[in-house]
Structures are given as C-alpha cells and as structure tokens.
C-alpha cells in the first residue's frame, strides 16, 4: 500500500491570495476541522508574504474569530492559512478553585509570528485540553509547566517572554499548530472524552478522578496535584 505524500506548502503568492480572499469575505471564516491538510503541514515562516496592512487586518480578524468561537487561542492554519501566526487571549471568568489548581491567570491579547518555545525547568502539569479544530472532544495532555517563547511581534521586532501554568499551555498548544501538531498527538488517549461525557464525569479542577477511572498516566502520583 502506498502512502500519500505530505501536503505541499503554499507558495507566498498563494498565501497572499488566501489571506485576501478571507479578508474580503463578508462573514467570519469557518474554523477548519481535523482532517484538513493545512492542519498537518508545517506553516511557512512569516517573511513578508502579506503587507503590514493585511497582517494587521488578519490579526484583528483572527481575534474576532477567537472571541466568537469562543476560545483562548487561534492559529492561522485553523483558518486555512499555512502561515506562522497565532493569537492568544484568556480573560474568561474561571472558578477560583479551578484557577488555583490549574495556575490559570488572565492573559492579555497577544499576536505572535514565527514562535518557538522551550521548556524552563522540569516541572510538568497534566490537564484536559480541547481544540476549536476538534469540536466536541477533550483529552489530557502533559506539558511543561513553564516555557520560554521566542517570537516576532507583528511590527517586526523580535521578542522573548516566559509563561507559566495555563498561559504556558495556551502558548504550547497554539505554537504546536504551526508545526502541524494537534493536541491529540500529545494526549493520553485513554482520557479522550466527548464534551458531554467530560461535563458529566470529569469537569473538576484536576484530573485525579478521570485518571483513576479511565486508567491513564500510571505511576505518576504527583501530576494530579498541579
């Protein structure tokens, strides 16, 4: 049996054409779902494929799509654009107990180009994640608790920031999108749950109950404490 070749990256001209088509549409663009090839290719590094004005419009559009969804992050490939651009923001009201367990604090709006992260320290945390491109599902992902992100700002300046807790999780999730990686690639698949089942059984600050009942992450007693 032959295997399909990986998708061919869009040319700079095709990226610009795609962005212009999306910006000129009257309605907000749909969020593409798992199975779309753009979610499985490495996005092109931003190097001027679109003008500064188009980039500003695209960032604003992505922000509106993220708010409408609603979500805490959105990567350009989720709109069918294979470009290394993501927007992040987390201002949701969260139960204080859940916020404390998950180390979740508000994240002001941030747009990043060409991001790369690396773990800082060895501490990890495990929590359920969802994705706007995998509607109706959640699964537990173990991720570094603290990361350092290097990226370019939309204005062109290089930047570096450290993120911890839930903010670090958002940063990793969205940056992974730009490398063709979905959260389910890193997930504990025995934890995979439909939203209704998650709400009925596992909607609590930590993962201890789900871990015990579904049988994932054996031998790591410290993780549910994070």
Active site (catalytic) residues:
174
Q: How many CB atoms lie within 10 A of CB 146?
A: 18
Cβ pair 107, 167 in contact under 8 A? yes
Check if the beta carbon of residue 56 is closer than 8 Å to that of residue 107: no
Q: Per residue in 98-112, is it b (16+ CB within 10 Å) or e — as a string?
A: ebebbbbeebeebbb
Measured distance CA(43)–CA(81) in Å, rounded: 8
Structure tokens at 16: 């610009």
Round the CA-based radius of gyration of the chain to a whole number and report it.
Answer: 18
Half-sphere exposure in the Cβ direction for 67 (13 Å, CA) = 9
């Amino acid at each position: 049996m032959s295997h399909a070749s990986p998708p061919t990256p869009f040319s700079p001209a095709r990226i610009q054409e795609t962005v212009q088509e999306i910006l000129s549409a009257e309605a907000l663009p749909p969020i593409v779902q798992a199975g779309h090839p753009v979610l499985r290719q490495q996005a092109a590094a931003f190097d001027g494929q679109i003008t500064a004005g188009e980039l500003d419009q695209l960032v604003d559009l992505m922000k509106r799509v993220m708010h409408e969804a609603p979500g805490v992050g959105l990567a350009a490939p989720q709109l069918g654009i294979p470009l290394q651009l993501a927007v992040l923001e987390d201002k949701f009201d969260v139960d204080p107990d859940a916020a404390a367990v998950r180390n979740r604090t508000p994240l002001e709006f941030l747009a990043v180009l060409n991001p790369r992260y690396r773990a800082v320290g060895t501490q990890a945390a495990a929590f359920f994640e969802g994705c706007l491109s995998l509607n109706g599902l959640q699964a537990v992902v173990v991720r570094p608790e603290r990361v350092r992100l290097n990226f370019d700002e939309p204005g062109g300046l290089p930047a570096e920031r450290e993120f911890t807790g839930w903010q670090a999780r958002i940063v990793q999730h969205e940056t992974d999108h730009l490398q063709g990686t979905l959260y389910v690639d890193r997930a504990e698949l025995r934890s995979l749950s439909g939203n209704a089942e998650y709400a009925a059984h596992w909607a609590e600050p930590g993962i201890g109950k789900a871990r015990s009942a579904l049988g994932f992450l054996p031998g790591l007693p410290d993780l549910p404490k994070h």
